[in-house]
Amino acid sequence: MAYVDFSGDTLFATPAILDRPEAVTETVAAAPTGLSALEWSVVALAQRDRMASLREPSPLSIALGRVFGTRRRDPNLADPKLEALRRMAVLSWHRGFAVPVHELAAFFAAGFNTDQYETMLASISTAQASRKARA
């Protein structure tokens, strides 16, 4: 039988008191590292979107759609922040880390940070690796 000495264990030690605990909560609240459930659903739905969904339809394709009655659904989301996330997720699903700089700037301008970007890319690469392992 083994003996474990818990007298030096810091698990039961009293926590250190911070001078300004609100400063820590302000920092944590200002830079979230994850995405909300709605944002994760946008990332998951972007997996099925093609790269063509990032381009605006040409005037010719609009005219042909009116003549022949085929209408392409508008893939753009109404919320600009979610649309920036969708665009970055589509690019990440298809190209990984190789995304255009202007798209990355638009993603950050929409209110996302680098931690959220890296979390999304890690999730996408894990999903792609597990999909390849199953195949």
**Which pLDDT score is estimated for 22?**
57
Q: CB of 38 within 8 A of CB of 85? A: no
In degrees, to the nearest 5, what angle opens at C-alpha 55 toward C-alphas 51 and 57?
A: 125
For residues 120 and 44, give the distance between their C-alpha atoms in angstroms, rounded to a whole number: 10
Q: Vertex 9, ends 3 and 11: CA angle to 5°?
A: 125
Query: pLDDT tens digit string along 23-79?
Result: 555 555 556 778 999 999 999 999 998 888 888 777 887 787 778 876 666 677 889
pLDDT confidence band for 19 (50 / 70 / 90) = low
pTM value > 0.85: no
Residue 27 CA from chain centroid, whole number? 21
CA 45 remoteness from chain centre: 12
Dihedral of CA 119/111/96/44: which sign?
A: positive
What does the pLDDT look like over 66-110, one tens digit per residue? 788 766 666 778 899 999 999 999 999 999 989 999 999 999 999
